[in-house]
Amino acid sequence: MLRPKRMSRISVTGSKQVMDDVIEAVHELHLLHITDYDGAWEGFDPGDPVEGAEEAAEKLVTVRALESTLGIDRDDAGPTRTIDDEKLEEELSEIRNAVNELDDRRSELRTELRRVDERIDAATPFAELGIDLDLLSGYDSLSVAVGEGDESAIRDALENADGVDAYETFSEGGYVAAFVAPVVDIEEALVGAAFTRYEVPDLEESEATSPQGYIEQLRHERQRLEMKLEDVEGDIQRRRHDDAGFLLAAEEKLSIEVQKLEAPLTFATTKNAFIAEGWVPTDRFDDLEAALRDAAGESIEVEELERAAYDDGHAHEPEAVDEEDGQPVAADGGHAMSGGAPPVIQDNNKASKPFEMLVGVINRPRYNELDPTLVLFLTFPAFFGFMIGDVGYGILYCAIGYVLLTKFDSPGFRSLGGVALWSGVFTIFFGVLYGEFFGLHELGYMIFGEGGSPMEKGLSPANIAFAQLWLVVSLLLGIVHLTIGHVFGFFDDLSHGIVDAVTENLSWVFLMVGVWTWVFSTHTASAKPEFLIGEENIFRETYGLAFTGLPEVVGLAALGLAALGFVLLLVGEGGIGLLESLNVLVNVLSYTRIAAVLLAKAGMAFVVNLLVFGAYETPDGGVYFLYNNDYTVSNGEVLDSAGEPLAGELMFAGLLTGAEGAAFIVALLAGAVIFVIGHILVLILGITSAGLQGIRLEYVEFFNKFYQGGGKPYQPFGYDRQFTAEE
């Protein structure tokens, strides 16, 4: 699980007479990741597509264009079907002609609508002015201009313009009409004023004389065009419904044909022979060889050239080697065409498979890297659940995950569903230990009896020690998590030599573990916080453990280990290691965000419940909600059903406390709204805070210690049928 599947580089050599049979067998098996021939071998050329490839590709382009025009997606497919070539040609031609005709008609109507809209926009200024259109043109002794501008500035410009004997202006809504005598160039006369001139609409094809009438005619024309467009859109939707299944099946059939017909482009060929190379999972090589033998018999040679080792991602199994240059020899005596890193198939079980998506956000692991998916699966949901720790929220997270898993076909959504489901499971688990259900603590008493839950989040003064405990637990989680990351880096770097692996990885482990072990020791105890070591440390305060700190001798030994790690770090990193050594403190302290989010989310849930139910604090610092209507509040005191004051201090009365009759019904409704909306908000913020902080610890702190990514995806030659049946 920590390594990708072992890959083998194979070569298939044979006569061109059986090349089609080989392509068919490899495609059907969907197993071989074919490597493109780069033309480097003397006497070998890339193969030519099989006859019919160009025609099939053109049909495929046509089908995809029709799908785009009709707006077809994969959800529109019906049952799988088989399509023969004759039916494909005939039906595709009919659909193409009909759809193209509808699309052309739709484009024409849209163009006409756009022109009508432009004419309406052009007539709007004239309608605002309220001047009949036939009064704006046709004069021998007047110049008329209509446009947009400041009437006062226009009048001033006309007053001072040469050649203007008289003028009159009309304005409305920012639009101005100017009548000038005698005939002059009005735009030249208004050169000093800001004025945008509009052309007078052409009324030759209109019976209207007023702008309002003209616009009304255009609107009727627009309605007529829209009705026609709706009819065409309806015809297109009917074609979409009727033809979607056929087009999706045709696309799949043609995609498969094009794959097969263009496959020789990746082969090295001569006049009579071909060589194909690629990668196959090692444990499936026998299956591939058997399928090829069944298809081509003794006319081909199938050879496992090498098996990729995990140390550097390249193959090192015994193979033929050129004596002159030491390069791997391929089946034809030339150099291997598919050298380099093999493609990566992550080898994770069903439970951890969804977390490959989170790893892929950074990048697919390289073949020679340890795959962090398993560690991510074991830690991220645990971090998340520990921070939220509530049965009610956990149930909702599980429900969200279930919906994403079962209602969506997208691999991305399904992976998110798996992550949400596991995060919800851990949230429920820790919620049981905390005894919380939407921030209420009755669950702890129901499960664990009178003493309540064994864990507290540490919000109240009575259990503040738990808040300090979770701070320390966060540090310990960080030390373990980071140590795993450095150990992964150690194994990844072994290919560079044991010295590099130790100085670049184990040096950090020695330094970090040494420093933090010393922190938890009694050496120089007076300089360390009392909640860590001593008679009143948080382990004793919370669970009564006899721990008072690691022995002083352990602390001294830890300093020696830290010193060794520091020296090794300087050897590996040089002078920069002196500054970087502080990261053993910074990186671990970064994990205190786990405790911070835990307290923040618990505090938000507490506030929601406080507003609804109210709460009081007992003299010993315990905080209790006022769950039922038996409590009343008088003069800042909480009274029981007998009217006796309860020991403690009122924190907040709450909506439901003491309400009676109609007031109680109103308070109940308002409280229900606040309760639901408030906890939904906490639920969402749990994702954005606990989720993001948890994944940040994985990406920034953990991955950064060893992970690079950049693996080549495994893309086997073949096709996963979805819309067509096997022919």
Q: What is the mean pLDDT of residues 243-266?
A: 92
Lowest mean pLDDT among 197-206, 295-304, 531-540, 684-693: 197-206
Distance CA(680)–CA(92), nearest Å, equals 51
132, 250: one domain: no
In a domain, 366, yes or no: no
Distance CA(29)–CA(716), nearest Å, equals 9
pTM for this prediction = 0.79
pLDDT band at 575, cuts 50/70/90?
confident
**Cα distances (Å, whole numbers) of residue 535 to 541, 545, 548:** 9, 10, 6
pLDDT band at 209, cuts 50/70/90?
low
pLDDT digits (tens, 9 = 90+) for 131-147: 777 777 778 888 888 88
| pLDDT greater than 70 at residue 631 | no
CA 561 to the chain's CA centroid: 42
In a domain, 402, yes or no: no
Q: What is the mean pLDDT of residues 568-597?
A: 90
- Quick one: pLDDT at residue 206? 60
In a domain, 715, yes or no: no
Give the burial class of 361: count Cβ atoms within 10 A of its Cβ; 0-12 exposed, 13-18 middle, 19 or more buried. exposed
pLDDT digits (tens, 9 = 90+) for 296-347: 988 899 999 988 888 755 444 444 444 444 444 444 444 556 557 899 999 9
In a domain, 73, yes or no: yes
The residue among 260, 14, 229 whose CA lies nearest residue 107 is: 229
Distance CA(533)–CA(698), nearest Å, equals 29
Distance CA(660)–CA(667), nearest Å, equals 9
pLDDT band at 108, cuts 50/70/90?
very high
DSSP-assigned letters across all residues of 313-366: SSB-S---B-TTT-PBB-TTSSB-TT-SPPEE-----TTTGGGHHHHHHH-PPP
In a domain, 717, yes or no: no
The rounded percent of the chain whose pLDDT value lies above 90 is 55
292, 199: one domain: no
| pLDDT greater than 50 at residue 360 | yes
pLDDT digits (tens, 9 = 90+) for 420-460: 999 999 999 999 999 999 999 888 888 988 888 899 999 88
Distance CA(89)–CA(77), nearest Å, equals 20
Which CATH number characterizes residue 148's domain? Answer: 3.30.70
- Quick one: pLDDT at residue 282? 94
193, 271: one domain: no
Distance CA(47)–CA(65), nearest Å, equals 29
Q: What is the mean pLDDT of residues 280-301?
A: 93
Number of domains making up the chain: 5
- Quick one: pLDDT at residue 129? 80
3-state secondary structure of 13: strand
- Quick one: pLDDT at residue 455? 92
664, 654: one domain: yes
pLDDT band at 228, cuts 50/70/90?
very high
pLDDT digits (tens, 9 = 90+) for 522-554: 999 888 888 888 888 899 889 988 888 899 999
615-617 sheet: strands from edge to edge: 623-625, 615-617, 649-652
- Quick one: pLDDT at residue 191? 79
- Quick one: pLDDT at residue 692? 93
Q: What is the mean pLDDT of residues 200-212?
A: 68
528, 663: one domain: no
Q: What is the mean pLDDT of residues 175-189?
A: 85
Instruction: Give me 477's structure tokens.
Output: 């989680």
Distance CA(341)–CA(366), nearest Å, equals 8
Peptide bond into 182 cis (omega under 30): yes
pLDDT band at 486, cuts 50/70/90?
very high
pLDDT band at 127, cuts 50/70/90?
confident
Tokens 């024309």 identify what position?
A: 221
Lowest mean pLDDT among 22-26, 259-263, 575-579: 575-579
Which CATH number characterizes residue 116's domain? Answer: 1.20.1460
203, 309: one domain: no
Phi–psi pair at 419, nearest 5 degrees? -65, -45
In a domain, 222, yes or no: yes
Q: What is the mean pLDDT of residues 556-578?
A: 91
- Quick one: pLDDT at residue 60? 94
pLDDT band at 207, cuts 50/70/90?
low
- Quick one: pLDDT at residue 326? 47
pLDDT digits (tens, 9 = 90+) for 30-72: 999 999 988 888 889 999 999 899 999 999 999 999 999 999 9
More confident residue, 16 or 340: 16
Report whether 595 contacts 473 (CB < 8 A). Answer: yes
Distance CA(274)–CA(671), nearest Å, equals 77
Domain containing 199 equals: 122-211
pLDDT band at 607, cuts 50/70/90?
very high
Strands 45-46 and 175-181 come out as: unpaired
621, 678: one domain: yes
Instruction: Give me 471's structure tokens.
Output: 């701070």
Most confident region among 198-212, 310-324, 645-659 by mean pLDDT: 645-659
Average pLDDT, whole number, for the chain? 88
In a domain, 725, yes or no: no
With vertex at residue 672, the alpha carbon angle to CA 668 and CA 676, rounded to the nearest 5 degrees, is: 170
Orientation angle between helical segments 464-493 and 373-388, nearest 10 degrees: 170
- Quick one: pLDDT at residue 724? 85
Report whether 393 contacts 440 (CB < 8 A). Answer: no
668, 618: one domain: yes
680, 663: one domain: yes
| pLDDT greater than 60 at residue 5 | yes
With vertex at residue 485, the alpha carbon angle to CA 481 and CA 489, rounded to the nearest 5 degrees, is: 165
In a domain, 232, yes or no: yes
624, 535: one domain: no
Q: What is the mean pLDDT of residues 603-607?
A: 93
More confident residue, 640 or 505: 505
108, 220: one domain: yes
Distance CA(373)–CA(127), nearest Å, equals 69
More confident residue, 42 or 396: 396
The rounded percent of the chain whose pLDDT value lies above 70 is 93
Residue 171, strand partner residues: 176
531, 516: one domain: yes
With vertex at residue 599, the alpha carbon angle to CA 598 and CA 605, rounded to the nearest 5 degrees, is: 95
- Quick one: pLDDT at residue 417? 95
